[in-house]
Structure 1
């Protein structure tokens, strides 16, 4: 019997399949160093605004008088959110306003009185001007001064007539010179009394004017201080955004100083904030391309959002059961995803994403070598 009669016969078709498979395997192995793929780092993340959420705190104790916004309402920077009761401050401000009005009236009258010239008081009594004074106090003082001034001017006129008569009698040698000197002295005394009266009254008015001006300045300072304090009773939004955590706030509720009455999430540019584990943080750097798979949208239909790494933390943060991680912030190129029919799904604050940061490009041969090295190298096992 022929020894080789038991060997199977290899058909031409089987040989062709074998050759094709062998060539494919060899070609694939030869192409491994030349085929490059992107290597990315994966991490969970959250879409949030660039600016942190701002706490709205009460600066004073008080009772809520009015609530101007509701939960989730958009607000502008400086928009009033709620107002506390200010009855005591309103009463003090009203009293200060009355006092300031009185001081302004006094100052108006005193400025008119101190502006009178000396000639106004040395004319005949009927020519002393009647001023339009507003306050009863200084209107009465001015009328009293006019009376004393008129009385003194009349006394001077009498003394002057007596002196003229005395001069004639002295010329005719009817009276002695001493008697004539007495008449001169009496006139001089009346003139001096008038001058003293005018100067003393003017000094009193000038002193009162300065005092009232000082008092008005003090009252205005108190008013400004109270108005600044009153402004604290109106709680305003520190930034523009969306108000939240207002539950339990209503008219009549009590608020303590330093208490957080709400949070404002600012309407600023959206970013992705993710936490990369320490084993991958060495490959992440600013400027790298990142892709974000938004969990609220089906990846197969909506695709992914593209962005770039904008900030890598230098220190770690403990997250998820005290596990260390590094915070990485990425900007988003466009704030929406789009279907093939053109419909857009817009990104919102609080959506969760899976971040893939492209760290390098490596060949398939390098990746296969690294994997085999991890398996076979005892130092890595």
Structure 2
């Protein structure tokens, strides 16, 4: 592994991928440039734009970063994408074919389940998910075992695709789809960000790979400072109200000058409820709701971090010190320096 903070030579290689074996088939020598986008909020988790010298047909393409440092040559996959939509331009001298490409999850988005398709109550969730993916996806699958079963019949909606159906299915076992840079599909467990450990630290010292500009955003709109809980079942009725009037909290009714109320009419209460239980539930819910999410956008030289990784931000000039954040999106430009525009999020508890 190279030292990403030290000088190195960088080039890029592109290969057509054999969908039957998922191995590199042959190199492309007609690529001008490319940009890779990874996004945890995108349904297919990412895409790419690739510029060729001439037209290419539909195929899978894999992009590599090649580094040479201290005489050691290494190759790092950046992503595997299915070429889809070409457009071409001609400037009087040269022709450029720009192609949109998508992750292998696109194949799951191309067709719907049969009307009324269902998986019955008691069925193993992950075993059924693996069966669906192997039937409708050419990319390799790195599966996982789980004993989680369905509590109710799981029925496809009329507007479902295999991708949306599969995503909703594995969410019942607290998993979500993920991809590695070779284009293999993985099941990633849902994780509490507070439990994640940083895999890389971005510093602003002399060996920093961070670019100077950093953008930070946060929004407290909609965060309640009053929680009302109403319980009405089995001839029992309870009402509880919890208020944040702490002068030290920026979310409080005192500092915001108004009440922002969230009312819960279906509290998740186990056992026989009482007024004390409902009040405790309201107090706990308000404290858990009193957090604010910050997003930080910055650019750095490539270092191998990926979507879902936890990183530590020590950018003191921007007011960030020992902040643990989770990467949610990246845009990688395959050009000299291989700059990565990245967005990460972290939460701060403002009361309780």
Q: RCO higher in 1 or 2 (8 Å CA, sep ≥ 6)?
A: 1
Please indicate the TM-score interval, normalised by the length of the shorter structure: under 0.3
Which is richer in strand? Answer: 2
Provide TM-score, normalisation by structure 1. Answer: 0.20
Larger radius of gyration: 1
